[in-house]
Structures are given as structure tokens and as C-alpha cells.
């Protein structure tokens, strides 16, 4: 029988899903739900204890024992590089990569790589991990990359690559700029790998009552209080990620922005291909300076 038009296997059973920021909030719910659908779950977290207790909870609730964790600080270049190496040493396939770990920082802090913390975690965490895993994603098609952004991107003022030496406005504005960067990154990558069978989509989870922002002292408490009063539960916030990761009908949809389970337009600036290319080029340059072999991701559009 000629099966050239047959659909690929689109079930989640036995599929490797790598999820960052899965020790808490919407990432944890996503890991739980994908485990319940039979996927092999590999979570990324900074603490062994938190990773182990998260996996114990997932196994107890789903009876899925195909669970693993890798420890990494996603704001640190060498840590992400080692994470990708540890992943590819252990696994030859990756069906779903969920870039979710992110944060907001009210005080300026720079990483050991000399990158402002919000940019390091929210942008470079996604850029480096996806860049290092692009080959394994391409060899596991159909495969999906899901980038957790935020509606906060609409408040962004980014008009070019940020200058790390500038006195950067930290807090909400830098957060908004990095969430716009998530969209520029997603659309640029989706465009450049569109014929490979790897899809790239971005989403906004809504205002969600999680630990988000909690490391910012009194302001952090206010952020959390706001989310508790006005936000939805993590189970609701995670729904669109789970849909993007697993819905069979979305397996060829790429370069889109989803909110509440629906494809929506993001801000006008997020579709600025000149800005997207500049941000990409800057990200490649910064990454190369840290020793990344960037040949596979030098897309100039
Ligand atoms: N909550 C909202 O209202 C909201 C709204 C829009 C968008 N978002 C986006 O949703 C995503 C997830 O947020 P959430 O609300 O679920 O927040 P959360 O409960 O604070 O979870 C954040 C996760 O990221 C991990 N993480 C933080 N810094 C890390 C680092 N340097 N290296 C590795 N992992 C790190 C944390 O792990 P540890 O256990 O190591 O701390 C935690 O698992 C973020 O990208 C955020 O921008 C959230």
C-alpha cells in the first residue's frame, strides 16, 4: 500500500518532551499533563531536590515513570551548553522543546557572562538551548518548539539589540522587551526552518497565579498578590502550551502566536523582520563570543 500521504505518528506516547521551568507554575502543569498523555518527560531545573520532588509528584499522579531531569541554570551560557550536551548524550530524539523558564528582575544584575539577567534568562536561555538542540529537533520530525512569551510584549520599547553597557531600565520594561524578543526569535526561527518539519510557535499564558516574580522582595509579593486576585490557575495558564505541544491538527502550524487556545496577532513590532534579523544577528554574535559554534543558526533571512 502506498502510504506516502499517511500522517506521521502524532500521539504523545513515547515522545521525548524537554520542558524548562518545570519545577513550578505553568511548566510543572505542562509536564504533568504531557506525562498523563504518555510522553517521556525531561524537565530542567536549577535544584536537584526540586526536580526530584517534581518528578515524584508527576509519577504519583500519572503513573508514568518515563521521567527524567537535567539540572541547569538557563541564564548561564556554559550551563546551557552542558545541558544540551547531557541531553544529546542521553537521548537521540526530541519531539517537543518547551522554552518556558523566565523571570522578572527589579534590581539590575549581570550574569557571569556579562549579560543583564532578564536578557540572559528570558532571551538567551531560549536562544542557546534551541540553537544547541536544533539538529536533534530536525532529526525527530515532526517536532515542535514552543516559546512561552507574554502579552507584556505589547509594552516593549525595543528598537534594536539592547546595549548591555547601557543603564538599562530594569523591571517591567526590560521584561516586556525580552518577551518581545521571544516573539521576534520565534518568527525568525520559524521562517528559517520552515521546510524542515520543525515548527516554532509562541504563546501567552494569561495572568497566572504562580511563583512568578516572587524573588523581588515586597514588589514580588505585590506581583504575586495581583496574580492571585486577577489571575487564573496554572492548570488554565498551561492549556495553550499543552495544546501547542500535542494537538495533532497543529503539527504543521508554525510561526504563530496563541492565546487562550486561539491563534492571534501579536504586536506590529513583533512582525518587524528587520528588527528580528538585527536581534538574531546580535544574539549570534554574543553567543559566538562565548564560544558557541553558530554555523547552524546563522540565518540572515
Ligand atoms: N505567571 C504569569 O502571570 C505569566 C504571564 C505571562 C507570561 N508568563 C511566562 O510564563 C513562564 C513561566 O512562568 P511561571 O508563571 O510558571 O513562573 P514560576 O512559577 O516562577 O516558574 C518559573 C520557572 O522557571 C525556573 N527558572 C527560573 N530561573 C531559572 C534559571 N536561571 N535557570 C533555570 N530555570 C529557572 C524556575 O525554576 P527554579 O525551581 O529553579 O526556581 C521555575 O520552574 C515565564 O516565561 C513567564 O514569563 C507568566
Q: Which atom of ligand 1 is nearest to the CA of 120?
A: 31
Cα 102 to ligand 1 centroid, rounded to whole Å = 4
Please identify, by atom number, the ligand 1 atom nearest to the C-alpha of residue 121.
Answer: 31
Residues with Cβ within 8 Å of 276's Cβ and at least 6 positions away in sequence, in order, are 184, 185, 187, 188, 301
From 22, 23, 25, give the residue whose CB has the most ligand 1 atoms within 8 Å, as the site to mutate. Answer: 25
The alpha carbon of 219 and the centre of ligand 1 are apart by a number of angstroms equal to 16
Could you tell me if residue 206 is inside a domain?
yes
pLDDT at 228: 87
Residue 290 contacts by C-beta under 8 Å, 6 or more apart in sequence?
Answer: 77, 113
pLDDT along the chain (301 residues), means of 10: 68 96 98 97 98 98 98 98 98 98 94 96 98 98 98 97 84 96 98 97 97 89 88 97 97 97 98 98 97 92 76
pLDDT value, residue 3: 55
- Residue matched to cell numbers 504586536: 267
Domain that holds residue 258: 16-294
Total tally of structural domains belonging to the chain: 1
Q: What is the pLDDT of residue 4?
A: 59
pLDDT the model gives residue 143: 98
Given this model, what pLDDT does residue 80 score?
Answer: 98
* Atom of ligand 1 minimally distant from the CA of 27: 16
Q: Is 5 within a domain?
A: no
Please report whether residue 4 resides in a domain: no
99 alpha carbon – ligand 1 mean position (Å): 10
At residue 165, the pLDDT reads: 86
Decide if 35 is inside a domain. Answer: yes
- Cβ atoms of 155 and 176 within 8 Å: the answer is yes
Beta bridge partners of 125: none
Longest dimension (CA), the chain: 66
Q: What is the DSSP letter of 167?
A: -
User: Which CATH number does the domain housing residue 97 bear?
Assistant: 3.40.50.720
From the list 101, 148, 152, the residue with the least C-alpha distance to 125 is 101
The answer to whether residue 245 sits within a structural domain is: yes
* pLDDT for position 1: 44
> CA–CA separation, 184 vs 280, rounded Å?
8
Q: What is the pLDDT of residue 122?
A: 98
pTM: 0.97
For a pocket test of ligand 1, which of 28, 52, 100, 102 has the largest count of ligand atoms closer than 8 A to its C-beta?
102
Q: What is the number of other CB atoms lying within 10 angstroms of the CB of residue 295?
A: 8
Q: What's the rounded Cα separation, in Å, for the pair 127 and 74? A: 10
Residue 300 falls inside a structural domain: no
Q: How far is the CA of 227 from the centre of ligand 1 (A)?
A: 14
All three cell numbers of 222? 505585590
Report the pocket of ligand 1 as residue ranges, CB < 6 Å: 21, 23-27, 45-47, 50, 73-75, 100-103, 121, 148, 150, 204-205, 207-208, 210-212, 227, 231
* 8 lies in some domain: no
Q: Check: CB of residue 24 under 8 Å from CB of residue 18.
A: no
Amino acid at each position: 500500500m502506498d502510504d506516502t500521504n499517511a500522517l506521521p505518528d502524532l500521539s504523545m506516547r513515547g515522545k521525548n518532551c524537554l520542558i524548562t521551568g518545570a519545577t513550578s507554575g505553568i511548566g510543572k502543569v505542562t509536564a504533568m499533563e504531557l506525562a498523563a498523555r504518555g510522553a517521556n518527560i525531561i524537565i530542567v531545573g536549577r535544584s536537584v531536590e526540586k526536580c526530584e520532588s517534581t518528578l515524584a509528584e508527576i509519577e504519583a499522579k500519572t503513573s508514568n515513570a518515563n521521567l527524567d531531569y537535567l539540572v541547569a541554570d538557563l541564564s548561564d551560557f556554559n550551563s546551557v551548553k552542558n545541558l544540551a550536551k547531557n541531553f544529546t548524550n542521553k537521548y537521540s530524539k526530541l519531539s517537543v522543546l518547551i522554552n518556558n523558564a523566565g523571570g522578572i528582575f527589579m534590581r539590575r544584575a549581570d550574569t557571569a557572562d556579562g549579560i543583564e539577567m532578564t536578557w540572559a534568562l528570558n532571551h538567551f536561555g531560549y536562544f542557546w538551548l534551541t540553537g544547541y538542540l536544533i539538529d536533534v529537533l530536525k532529526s525527530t520530525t515532526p517536532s515542535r518548539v514552543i516559546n512561552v512569551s507574554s502579552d507584556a510584549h505589547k509594552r516593549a520599547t525595543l528598537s534594536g539589540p539592547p546595549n548591555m553597557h547601557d543603564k538599562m531600565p530594569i523591571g517591567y520594561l526590560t521584561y516586556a522587551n525580552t518577551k518581545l524578543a521571544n516573539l521576534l526569535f520565534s518568527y525568525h526561527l520559524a521562517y528559517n526552518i520552515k521546510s524542515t518539519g520543525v515548527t516554532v510557535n509562541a504563546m501567552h499564558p494569561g495572568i497566572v497565579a504562580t511563583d512568578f516574580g516572587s524573588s523581588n522582595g515586597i514588589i514580588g509579593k505585590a506581583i504575586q498578590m495581583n496574580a492571585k486576585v486577577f489571575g487564573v490557575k496554572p492548570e488554565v495558564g498551561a492549556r495553550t502550551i499543552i495544546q501547542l505541544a500535542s494537538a495533532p491538527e497543529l503539527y504543521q502550524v508554525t510561526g504563530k502566536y496563541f492565546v487562550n487556545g486561539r491563534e492571534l496577532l501579536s504586536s506590529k513590532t513583533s512582525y518587524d523582520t528587520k528588527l528580528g534579523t538585527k536581534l538574531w544577528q546580535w544574539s549570534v554574535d554574543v553567543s559566538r563570543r562565548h564560544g558557541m559554534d553558530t554555523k547552524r543558526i546563522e540565518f540572515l533571512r
